[in-house]
A = this chain, B = another copy of it.
């Protein structure tokens, strides 16, 4: 089942998407959305297609991965064995696209700003919604995203470069291998936020309070 190698790297990028397009209207919004429903509604209407960093402060943001049911045990086990990069917020069973526990009323097929479709490890498409790609055997995994603790970092006086610049956070593929599970394996992918040395301890204190969205840094230096 080698073709699926690399799916993890994909999943990290799926829900928060890549840098916004130039046609993006979100940057021109006078008041950025603060409520999750409001944010999802903008995305669903196609009015926001940029990464969601900085929006809906105080609410959990997640990455999104859809896996066919026959591989879903392997991926769930991959998450269980790698709780730091893959902390599960909710798993929606095949046949539904509504995460009733954490975001009732939402639709996972339309409410993320951008999706990447992979088939057998190959990128097939990058689209704004996946209604046409939806299969009834897809299991949805909502994995805690570090965007969640950014509001707390800012409140603690730590400025975030990518938020100031309106870009996506920097991401790096590390040399640390995740613990494999069935068809899934791959290196750990991390986000990187430059923090002034005198504020590093405070940043560790703040992020360590959020273990379900990756928590404290894997590496400082």
Question: When the two chains form their complex, are residues B93 and A88 in contact, meaning their CB atoms are under 8 A apart?
Answer: no
Give every chain B residue within 8 A of A139 (Cβ-Cβ). 73
- Does A77 sit within 8 A of B, measured CB to CB? yes
Question: When the two chains form their complex, are residues B80 and A77 in contact, meaning their CB atoms are under 8 A apart?
Answer: no
Give every chain B residue within 8 A of A81 (Cβ-Cβ). 91
- Does A42 sit within 8 A of B, measured CB to CB? no
Q: How far is it, in angstroms, between the C-alpha of A77 and the C-alpha of B91 when the chains are bound?
A: 8
Q: Which of A157-194 contact B (CB under 8 A)?
A: 181-182
- Does A206 sit within 8 A of B, measured CB to CB? no
Q: How far is it, in angstroms, between the C-alpha of A77 and the C-alpha of B76 when the chains are bound?
A: 8
Give every chain B residue within 8 A of A182 (Cβ-Cβ). 93
Give every chain B residue within 8 A of A88 (Cβ-Cβ). 80
- Does A69 sit within 8 A of B, measured CB to CB? yes
The size bracket of the interface on A is 10 to 19
Number of copies of this kind of chain in the complex: 2
Q: How far is it, in angstroms, between the C-alpha of A81 and the C-alpha of B100 when the chains are bound?
A: 13
Closest B residue, CB atoms, query A75 = B73
- Does A72 sit within 8 A of B, measured CB to CB? yes
Q: How far is it, in angstroms, between the C-alpha of A93 and the C-alpha of B69 when the chains are bound?
A: 17
Closest B residue, CB atoms, query A76 = B76
Q: Which of A90-113 contact B (CB under 8 A)?
A: 91, 93
Give every chain B residue within 8 A of A72 (Cβ-Cβ). 73
Q: Which of A51-90 contact B (CB under 8 A)?
A: 69, 72-73, 76-77, 80-81, 88
Closest B residue, CB atoms, query A81 = B91
Give every chain B residue within 8 A of A76 (Cβ-Cβ). 73, 76-77, 80
Give every chain B residue within 8 A of A91 (Cβ-Cβ). 77, 80-81
Q: Which residues of A pack against B, CB within 8 Å?
A: 69, 72-73, 76-77, 80-81, 88, 91, 93, 139, 181-182
12 contacts between A and B (CB under 8 A): A69-B73, A73-B73, A73-B76, A73-B139, A76-B76, A76-B77, A76-B80, A77-B91, A77-B93, A80-B88, A81-B91, A93-B181
